[in-house]
Structure 1
């Protein structure tokens, strides 16, 4: 049985967006980051794409194709190239609105953050658009019960019904225990190499949730909104059908107290190597295979960010590189 820590009860009413999170499995926190700051992050993401000598031109949609972009997944998910530790990504993780939201969820300011990536999905010319394959899943081990991880998306550009984005099965987290009493907890070999804290669902299993009242909802948000969801909530991504760019930074936080000393040491080493983790900030530090670009090893692969993060005490504590019971000068 995987390690899990019993968390405090969450049955109380809060009178705010947390009620949506615990009752529906997701919530949208409006204006978590000012719209002007969101625009700055979109600019930083676009400049990051331009640093690769692949012919990408922000003003020419004909270059928004795979051969002109760094290696990515599912239309616009970037995890390689040490993107998890670019200075602008760390700046987003330190936004007061994000830290406040997750502090409210967990009842503590002593948090760890995941070393997640970004998503900048550029709508292709209509003649080249394809329907995206669905991969409904939860980001929690099928053997772990209860609320253990909250995921987040900092939404940086207006995102409507026809734009690429997150789809959830509302209230599916409430049926998690029942589902795994009736279905296998094992991993399907067809999923390939996936983290322990990832479990996929077939379309028939998605129907099982729908038959019990779970509605499929495409989440829409404005620039600067924060989307949070219970990791047990069944969810997946969709590609844009409209002409808007999707731009988000994945941000997940959990209490530092949930991490074992051994996991904190691993997290510190991962940070120092500027590598990525799963969505879980405090455990299961899984090393993914290298993402190939156009089916080949990428000559532009890199293991350090273009712009290193500006180290601070708060950053190092969120990274697990400095314990919360220690204060002192930041090592350069």
Structure 2
């Protein structure tokens, strides 16, 4: 799956696109499953979304979401050089075509570029991922990044004490226009990332990024967005508190932020989210899924790789139930 070019891009640019991870026919099957789930809301009704992101309704536990996670696990195994991984139980995104009037086009200044990694984490802590069930060209719903900004991450927070404090407290930091210009002055160009159908885009959690809305007069008007967000990191990084949170998320069908091993946080439930889904799907009862969620243990003394050493965190984890989660 991953090539040397992919690994080089992650180091140099902070992101990479891995094509053909999910076969096209499987993508179509999963799109159909999500469309059938949408019909549960009733005619002409739509779940609560934010720029196509659906964080509620426990979408992380839907059958297609689990199948997609398992389908891309190999990518994360390659990047971390271990099979012993934990997964996030993260959001999905379903974006309607703005040509139909339900969503907005990108007006050139509607970005919400942000950083998910806190200022108190040093170095690489995670690769976040987005699996595209439908092709996304540069002018469609897609990921927007500030290329090479992962290399400016520490300098930015070292020079802005207020930003560093907000990042630590909120576990999320949205950039102002002046802060975007700061990164641009340091050679970080804003780019929209095209992803083929069935591909996954990976990005360093230190990378400035956001999802981007479709542009006017795009080449494929009417195209929808279907994306599943996945992040996996070495299981050995998890503390006992992380394990307890992960097990609760699995046992009680709850959602988490994108931190899959170190810093896992449960997302706040709403009245709506507590009712979707109402059952655990068979795919989620497999031993592989249970290991990814921490309810079955790995043997870290079997002589097989456990992945790289746990990265440095300058202060302890700030635990809180929140709705910031992974904001793509």
Q: Which of the five TM-score ranges fits, normalised by the shorter chain?
A: 0.7 to 0.9
Structure 1's 263 and 127: CA in aligned 2 closer, same or farther, altered over 3 A?
closer
Of residues 175, 199, 220, the one that matches 1:201 is: 175
Counterpart Cα distance in 2 of 1:187 and 1:271: 30
Of residues 167, 175, 186, the one that matches 2:152 is: 175
Q: Is the 8 A contact 1:169 1:214 kept in 2?
A: yes
Counterpart Cα distance in 2 of 1:101 and 1:288: 26
Shift of 1:72: 1.7
1:5 maps to: none
Of residues 5, 18, 41, the one that matches 1:29 is: 18
1:87 maps to: 63
What is the TM-score when the length of structure 2 is the normalising length?
Answer: 0.82
Q: How does 1:129-144 map to 2 (within 5 A)?
A: 129-131=103-105, 133-144=110-121
Shift of 1:124: 3.2
Q: How does 1:253-272 map to 2 (within 5 A)?
A: 253-272=232-251
Shift of 1:285: 3.1
Shift of 1:271: 1.1
Cα displacement string for residues 277-311 of structure 1 (whole angstroms, at most 9, x for unaligned residues): 101101333344456xxxxx65x851544662421
What is the TM-score when the length of structure 1 is the normalising length?
Answer: 0.81
Shift of 1:172: 0.2
Counterpart Cα distance in 2 of 1:92 and 1:128: 27
Structure 1's 92 and 156: CA in aligned 2 closer, same or farther, altered over 3 A?
same
Counterpart Cα distance in 2 of 1:145 and 1:201: 19
Q: Is the 8 A contact 1:148 1:231 kept in 2?
A: yes
* 3-state SS in 2 of match to 1:208: helix
2:323 maps to: none
Shift of 1:122: 0.6
Counterpart Cα distance in 1 of 2:280 and 2:236: 30
Quick check: 1:45 aligned with 2:19? no
Counterpart Cα distance in 1 of 2:269 and 2:250: 18
Between stretches 78-87 and 105-114, larger displacement belongs to: 78-87
Q: How does 1:1-332 map to 2 (within 5 A)?
A: 15-53=4-42, 55-56=43-44, 68-74=45-51, 76-95=52-71, 98-125=72-99, 129-131=103-105, 133-184=110-161, 185-187=164-166, 196-241=170-215, 242-290=221-269, 298=272, 302=275, 304-305=277-278, 308-310=281-283, 311-325=285-299
Between stretches 230-239 and 126-135, larger displacement belongs to: 126-135
2:311 maps to: none
Counterpart Cα distance in 2 of 1:323 and 1:179: 39
* 3-state SS in 2 of match to 1:187: helix
1:7 maps to: none
Q: Is the 8 A contact 1:86 1:309 kept in 2?
A: no
Q: List alignment gaps of at least 5 residues for structure 1.
A: 1-13, 57-67, 189-193, 292-296, 327-332
Counterpart Cα distance in 1 of 2:279 and 2:142: 27
Counterpart Cα distance in 1 of 2:252 and 2:126: 24
Structure 1's 168 and 307: CA in aligned 2 closer, same or farther, altered over 3 A?
same
Counterpart Cα distance in 1 of 2:169 and 2:63: 26
* 3-state SS in 1 of match to 2:131: strand
